[in-house]
Every structure is written in C-alpha cells, then in structure tokens.
Amino acid sequence: MIKNKISTFVSTDCLSDFLIDESYKILDLRTQEKFNHGHIAGSIHIDSELFIKRDNEGINVVPDKELILTALREKGVNNDDTLILVDDVFNLNCSIAVWVFHYYDFFNVKLLDGALSKWEKENRQLTTEVAFYPPGNVDFTVENPSIYISKDEILMNIYSENCIFVDNRSDYAIEYDQQGGIIPGAKQFFYLDIFEEYPDYFILKDLKKIHKELREKEITEEKAIVLYCESAPQSALVYLVMKELGYPDVKLYLAGYEEWRIICSFL
C-alpha cells in the first residue's frame, strides 16, 4: 500500500456504530420514492441530480457549488460533520457525489461498502420516519482542480510518458457500443473488477488484490492516472478506490467518452 491514502469506504458494521454519533450524517441519494419506502434511521434525502450538470451539448461539467451548498445547508449539514453516502447496489450516484465533494476540497465523506443492498440483506433496521436537523453551515472555500482533467489537457498530454489513461468501461462498450473505441493508448480496467459479488450485493475486493490487478495492467502510482468511462460515475468509483489505495495523482475525465467521441469526429 502507498502512503497518504484517503479512506472512503465504511462497512455496514461501522455504519451501525455511527448511528449513535451525532457528528455523522447519512445522505441517502436514492430516489425520493425509495427513500420514503424505507431508509436508515437519521438519513437525509438528497437529490443525486445536484451532483450532475450537463452543458448545452449534454456533456458533463463540474456542478454548481452554490446549488449544492444551499441544498446541504437546508438539510442541516455542517462543516464538521462526517457524511456517509448511501445508494443502491453499486453506489454510482454516490461515487460521483463524493468526487464532487473532493473537487470542492471537502474530504469528510464516506461511502457505504455494499450499499443499502447489503444493509437490507443483513436484515438491519430501516424506517419511514424522516429526520429533521437545524440549518447547517457547510461551506466550500477552495477548489481542488488537480483531480479534474479537461479535453484540452488530454489533447496536450495524450502521448505523454507521464500519464496513464484508463478506460473503465466494459469490453463490449469499448468494442461495439456507439461505434466503440478508446482514447489512444488507454489501458482498460473495468469498474466492476473492483468488486466481489455476493447474492444481492457487491462489496470491494481486498485492496491488496485490487492493487495487484492494477499493477499487472501497468497502472502504476508513479505516473498521473486519468480515468474515464462513458460519462463519469463508473470512473468516479474507481477514482475513490485508487485514492483508498493511496495513488497520489488520479484525475477524472468528467466529460468522459461522450465528449471524446465528438472530438474524434473532428480529428
């Protein structure tokens, strides 16, 4: 393992312990309907769309800070809270949300390993009661653009020996989906390869095993890593795992192959 890692994933056992700790707040990013049907006690419902913004061409861009802050403050989130994000099955809504928090330099945020699917499989308690908190004071004072990369930066570094581009889509998507293709020179690491599959839920593999698999694909921590998928959530999840491993320089191509496909038509 590498030093200076960012610990993000928490187990259902740990979350169960956190429920009595007022410094933790659970943000549920599922649909309002699912939240109303049953959620972990004390959870706050947050619209996952807050963490996604698209430009006029339908391409992902960094979402608006003020919209996110307004919603979080209204729900009672404070600067000194540790946030635990919960979603269905793969945590894809949560993964992009955590990346956005990191972009705005807020790192007191965790992801439930196994998501709500594992919590339910273990017959842990859910409730329909809605928790209310006083207005919060959370603020984002700086940005952390080192974890973001634009198409222009990619074009300048596409043949750089200091960057490794990693495609997190499936074999099928790379070969056939929407004419297929990859960013030139990119290595593939499918995002589902970070998981162990169990009946009804998925949890992270042992981190040492993931690290070994990455290095076998020559995705090493000595260089800048640029992750991309179709439009970001899958790569955001891999980003979180690589930061958990301690990779020092991991960037997300937020616009993803949706934008690169357009670029290719002009090259």
Question: Do the domains at 9-121 and 145-264 have one common CATH topology?
Answer: yes
pLDDT tens for each residue of 42-71: 999 999 999 999 999 889 999 999 999 999
- What does DSSP assign to residue 64? P
Pick 9-121's CATH classification: 1.10.3470.10, 3.40.50.300, 3.40.250.10, 3.30.930.10.
Answer: 3.40.250.10
Q: Taking a C-beta distance cutoff of 8 angstroms, is the pair 53, 60 a contact? A: yes
User: How many whole angstroms separate alpha carbon 110 and alpha carbon 87?
Assistant: 12
Nearest CA to 188 among 204, 205, 172? 172
Nearest CA to 267 among 138, 174, 181? 181
Q: Taking a C-beta distance cutoff of 8 angstroms, is the pair 42, 59 a contact? A: no
Q: How far apart are the first and last CA of the chain?
A: 40
Q: Taking a C-beta distance cutoff of 8 angstroms, is the pair 110, 53 a contact? A: no
Percent pLDDT > 70 in the chain is: 96
pLDDT tens for each residue of 231-240: 899 999 999 9
The phi and psi torsions of 27 (rounded to 5 degrees) equal -105, 120
pLDDT tens for each residue of 167-214: 999 988 888 765 668 899 999 999 999 999 999 999 999 999 999 999
Nearest CA to 125 among 62, 43, 195, 64? 43
Q: What is the largest CA-CA distance in the chain?
A: 56
Give yes or no for residue 267 having a pLDDT over 70.
Answer: no
Q: Taking a C-beta distance cutoff of 8 angstroms, is the pair 248, 225 a contact? A: no
pLDDT tens for each residue of 136-169: 999 999 999 999 999 999 999 999 999 999 999 9
Domain positions in the chain: 9-121, 145-264
- What does DSSP assign to residue 183? S
CATH class of 145-264: alpha beta
Neighbours of 141 (CB within 10 A): 8
The tokens describing 212, both together, are 């070994």
Give yes or no for residue 2 having a pLDDT over 60.
Answer: no
